[in-house]
Chains A and B, each alone.
Chain A
Amino acid sequence: MYLDEIDFSILDELQRNGRKSYRKIASELMLSERVVKHRVNAMLREGVFQFLISVDPSRLGTVHVLIWLTTVAGKQDTIARELMDCEQVHFISAYSGDFNLLMRARFKDKKALTAFMNDHLAAMDGILGVTMNIELKTYESSKNRIIRKSLMS
């Protein structure tokens, strides 16, 4: 789908407030409400974006970690697919570099984290090494605001 300047402007409004009404966006961008609604629906249909919420992790009392995995050659994909089904894992990707897989996961407490590391991961076939980093502080930008003016070209 080709996105034009109007689409990007709408996304830019929504990434600052996902609940902003189409009427308000329309009046700020000097468009009709119908145009905004039509553009939003087209982008949703094409999977350009989704409406979500971002919860401040510090309010949940949960432990957030990054876990880096080194995997046996040929096992990367199987391991990734198995781990993506774990509800604690909310992000997992394959990377170039020292590690093959990186995941971000959250646990209700440190006990749940160690159980995941020692029981779940340890029981999986094909994992050569695990490094875990605890998230000490999450900064403001972590809200997926990736729309920027320079992308409109």
Chain B
Amino acid sequence: MDFKILAHLQENGKQSYSEIARGLEVSEGTIRSRVNKMLKEEVFEFIIHTNPNKIGLHVQAIIGLETRLGKQDSIACRLQGHGAVRFIGAFSGKHDLIIQAYFRNNDELIGFVNRELSEIEGIISVDVNVELKQYKDTFSYIDS
């Protein structure tokens, strides 16, 4: 039931509980209590997905970071508060951290790499890949 509710909400996060209830043939109260329980347990959050181009963010980059042993977590925590950073994950492989970030232009990207990343202690190397074309970007994790 929880997964069915999430599947509805990932289609449209603004869908009303009464509509979801009708779709799943349960009461609105059931949906509301399940949703509130999942929110309390931080299973999911209501978010919005903004189209970066529409708000003037024309440069998107994937930046791979190699970090000094023991520094990975503190660097990730420091970067997660950064306004330009949209995604940050710790990975297996060559890059210990991989971040996705949005910038208004190439100058902003260069500034981020040269002034901000270079200031952070424990970063051994930085590998910048600029996005040329986006094909797909969804948040649908739940199979419906």
Chain A interface (Cβ < 8 Å from any Cβ of B): 1, 3, 8, 11, 14-15, 17-19, 46-57, 59-60, 62, 64, 66, 80-81, 83-84, 87, 89-99, 102, 106, 131-148, 150-151
Question: Could you say which residues of chain A place their CB within 8 Å of the CB of B80?
Answer: 139-141
Given contact pairs A19-B14, A151-B57, A60 touches B141 in the complex (Cβ within 8 A): yes
B residues 69-85 in Cβ contact with A at 8 Å: 76-77, 79-85
* Chain B residues touching A, range: 35 or more
Given contact pairs A52-B10, A89-B136, A94-B132, A135 touches B87 in the complex (Cβ within 8 A): no
Question: Could you say which residues of chain B place their CB within 8 Å of the CB of A139?
Answer: 76-77, 80, 88-90
Q: When chains A and B are docked, how far (Å) is the Cα of A50 from the Cα of B138?
A: 11
Number of residue pairs spanning A and B whose beta carbons lie under 8 angstroms apart:
202
Chain A interface mostly: mixed
Instruction: Give 7 CB contacts A-B under 8 Å.
Output: A18-B45, A18-B48, A62-B141, A84-B136, A93-B133, A94-B134, A134-B93
Question: Could you say which residues of chain A place their CB within 8 Å of the CB of B56?
Answer: 151
Asked if B21 is at the interface of the complex by the 8 Å CB criterion, the answer is: no
Contacting pair B138 A90 (CB below 8 A):
yes
Given contact pairs A133-B91, A141-B86, A55 touches B135 in the complex (Cβ within 8 A): no
Kindly identify which residue among A52, A99, A132, A141 contacts B13, using a CB–CB cutoff of 8 Å.
Answer: A52
* Residue interface bits B129-144, CB-to-A below 8 A is 1, else 0: 1111111111111110
Contacting pair B90 A54 (CB below 8 A):
no
- Beta-carbon nearest neighbor of B134 in chain A: A93
Given contact pairs A90-B138, A95-B131, A96-B130, A141 touches B48 in the complex (Cβ within 8 A): no
- Beta-carbon nearest neighbor of B83 in chain A: A148
Asked if B12 is at the interface of the complex by the 8 Å CB criterion, the answer is: yes
Given contact pairs A91-B137, A135-B90, A137-B89, A53 touches B10 in the complex (Cβ within 8 A): yes
Q: When chains A and B are docked, how far (Å) is the Cα of A50 from the Cα of B51?
A: 8
B128 CB to nearest A CB, Å: 7
Q: When chains A and B are docked, how far (Å) is the Cα of A55 from the Cα of B127?
A: 29
Question: Could you say which residues of chain B place their CB within 8 Å of the CB of A90?
Answer: 136-141
Asked if B65 is at the interface of the complex by the 8 Å CB criterion, the answer is: no
